[in-house]
Amino acid sequence: MKARIEIGPKVRALARRVRARIAPPPDITGSQWANEYRRLSPEASAEAGRFRIERTPYMREILDTMTGAVIDVEEVWFKKSAQIAYSETLNNAVGYYIHLDPGPIMMVQPTLEMAESYSKDRIEPMLRDCECLAALTDFRAKKSSNTILRKKFPGGLMQLIGANSPAAIASRPIRVVFCDEVDRYPPSTGKEGDPIELARARQATYQSNRMFVAGGTPVLKGASRTVKGYESTDQREYFVECPHCRDHITLKWEQFEKDDPDAKHYGEYRCQSCKRHIAHHHKAAMLADSQMGGTAEWRATSDEGREGARGFFIWTAYSPFRSWVWICNQWQKCKGDPELEQVFYNTVLGLEYSHAGLEVDCETLFKRREVYSHESIPDDILVITCGVDTQDDRFELEIVGWGDGEESWSLDYITIPGDPANKETRDQLDAVLSDTFYKRQDGREMGIKATFIDAAGHRADAVYQFVRGKTSRHVFACRGLTTAGQPIFARWSKLKKAKVKLAHVGTDTAKETIYANLSALSDRVGRMHFPMEYSLEYFKQLTSEEKVVRWTAGQPRVSFQKKSDAGTGGRNEPLDCRVYAMAALRSLPINLRTLARKRKALKKRKYELKQAPDSAPRQEEAKEGDAETETPENKPKARKKAQIRRQRPPRRANWLSVK
């Protein structure tokens, strides 16, 4: 009797690796490879396990095009939103090339740190959990040929780099290039130039079998590499069949019932052809392509694209991971707030965002002036800040009251003549900042909580002298940042020689927000109010700049420049003052929405106490700062807390106490 030989798991794994290396590669497309070999890792996907392209059928043609199934296509551009399985499609393409069509591969991420993160979180789990890839790549090895940013396999290697790394981009020839999130690339890779063109140059020696894939989520209109690349292709969109009229349509954001959450058809889609409503539960059948028994398909919408280039656009409405009601709910949350709207347009709609406020003219704002006095400012004002612009012969400052959602009221615009280098001029400014108080309609007196003073130009030293020692009053010098994409209040820095704390302000971001708020109507967040005393000249200077997007050597340059026809003689002090006042607000440790909510709850509580005839005297005298109202159950506890509060010294600054 023959002895039975037990084969352990290590021997079986070795046998699989040997078969994978010597077996001829199967003749299949990228989508077929993904269905057959791909396994989703639990740490990288919410639906771990076997991959199925039928979950996102719109990715089938995209993946096949990326992996060379379409003849004469060597360039693919992708315009997308978030949560549509784009990253997994890139990973599937990478896995296909490693397994069946090896060669030099390069993936370019916006930064080197993002490249390392993508390798650890996406690439390495895929190489580990797909048996065919694990047999070809020793992902656990720590040697010069296999690192976090470099994966070697038989017949080729994969290199992950950052668009900010010139040495990595300009090294060896590459056949397959993936450029991810190109709108977040720097304008230039060091001094070498546009990172996308540098990556293209790496493919010069490969003429017949190269592939270039680029795209991502667009950001700003007129400055999007993604949109520019997509518009140079045939601009394909995914057409689905309407369940009512059977016409093929593309899902458009304007066709959704999104304005009234209480409406009968809220969250449903209104067909462009038959005008009937389509509920979300029809989406799965609408997305099915011909290989699933459906009729959905990609169609080119432009005949002006470059030869050999294809473009695809897909957004969250097609995604099986998000419902249509969820999309409409997200719109309700961000509607009216320019910054939140931009995030929604970019990550949900997959569209570039345009700030509508840039189109507002000075005469429209002049006609929108309102009647409110300095002696009795609106109750909705929660915090007051000040922005000061420094000129060689004067200080100009605007005092602004802020409410919920950064709704603002211009309370005063003051010019202090005199050289800022003179102590008398600075003393006048100090008197305005320390002695100016406004009384709200409910009787509460409010002062200026924060002030930012422009420290650029010839009078920087005078400004440093002025702000020194005024930290407790939140009076700081500030300077604008020229780098695009900076937050309105970017960061603090310390000037050791001047012995002051300097605030850095994202002026372009602030101006975009201000111009968007200038167009806000009464039902929108961020509306700006101005008193009747302001002249037309003030509004001319407030709107004296415009946003200019210029493409230079393939790179978008976004900046604000003074209008040639503004008629202000080059003056824009009101705009600068508002920028500094908004940055001063953002630097405070407060949340306007929380303050507004507390104030509404307090007003409601006081009203209820007034209406109750048998209220106890202690309850009638309840103050805003009380943590809880005295009741028969907590009398001793409430009295003890009140006694402790009376013994505490007063706080120097309590930003959250609103009466």
Write the secondary structure of 425-468 as one string of H (helix), E (strand) and C (coil): HHHHHHHHHHHCEEEECCCCEEECCEEEEECCCCCHHHHHHHHC
Q: How many domains does the chain fold into?
A: 2
Of 592, 614, 630, the domain-final residue: 592
- Highest average pLDDT, of 479-483, 517-521, 650-654, comes from 479-483
pLDDT at residue 47 in the model = 81
276: pLDDT strictly greater than 90? yes
Q: What is the mean pLDDT of residues 422-427?
A: 94
Q: Are 86 and 140 members of one domain?
A: yes
Q: What is the mean pLDDT of residues 456-481?
A: 91
Residue 402 resides in a domain: yes
Distance of alpha carbon 217 from alpha carbon 77, whole angstroms: 11
pLDDT at residue 137 in the model = 82
Distance of alpha carbon 125 from alpha carbon 398, whole angstroms: 55
Of 534, 561, 592, the domain-final residue: 592
Terminal CA-CA length for the chain: 95
- Highest average pLDDT, of 364-378, 464-478, 563-577, comes from 464-478
pLDDT at residue 116 in the model = 92
Percent of the chain as helix, strand, coil, to the nearest 5? 35, 20, 40
pLDDT band at 209 (very low <50, low <70, confident <90, very high): confident
Q: Are 193 and 118 members of one domain?
A: yes
Residue 597 resides in a domain: no
Q: Are 373 and 225 members of one domain?
A: no
pLDDT at residue 20 in the model = 61
Residue given tokens 């930290």 in the structure block: 471
Query: Could you tell me the CATH number of the domain that includes residue 455?
Result: 3.30.420
pLDDT at residue 414 in the model = 94
Distance of alpha carbon 175 from alpha carbon 198, whole angstroms: 13
pLDDT band at 628 (very low <50, low <70, confident <90, very high): very low
Of 562, 592, 622, the domain-final residue: 592
Residue type, position 518, single letter: L
- Which ranges of 572-647 does DSSP label H, i.e. alpha helix? 573-587, 592-611, 617-620, 635-647
**Using the 8-state DSSP alphabet, how is residue 658 labeled?**
-
- Which ranges of 101-165 does DSSP label H, i.e. alpha helix? 112-118, 124-129, 131-134
pLDDT at residue 493 in the model = 92
Q: Are 316 and 446 members of one domain?
A: no
**Domain ranges, residue 112:** 16-238+302-326
Q: Are 377 and 479 members of one domain?
A: yes
Q: Are 318 and 383 members of one domain?
A: no
pLDDT at residue 164 in the model = 81
Nearest to 317 by CA among 249, 260, 221: 249
Give the CA-trace dihedral at 56, 57, 58, 61, to 10 degrees: 130
R_g of the chain, CA atoms, integer Å: 31
Q: Are 315 and 422 members of one domain?
A: no
Asked if 158 contacts 105 with a C-beta cutoff of 8 angstroms, the reply is yes
Distance of alpha carbon 606 from alpha carbon 603, whole angstroms: 5
348: pLDDT strictly greater than 70? yes
Q: Are 315 and 462 members of one domain?
A: no
For 518-556, give the DSSP string.
HT--TTSTT-EE-BTT--HHHHHHHT-EEEEEEEETTEE
Lowest-confidence pick of 134-148, 302-316, 548-562, 594-608: 548-562
657: pLDDT strictly greater than 70? no
Tens of pLDDT, residues 491-519:
999 988 888 999 999 998 888 888 888 87
CA 527 to chain centroid: 21
pLDDT at residue 2 in the model = 55
φ, ψ of residue 70 in degrees (nearest 5): -100, 120
Distance of alpha carbon 184 from alpha carbon 547, whole angstroms: 19
Query: Could you tell me the CATH number of the domain that includes residue 74?
Result: 3.40.50.300
Nearest to 379 by CA among 533, 600, 591, 530: 600
CA 24 to chain centroid: 47
pLDDT band at 639 (very low <50, low <70, confident <90, very high): low
Q: Are 534 and 390 members of one domain?
A: yes
φ, ψ of residue 490 in degrees (nearest 5): -85, -55
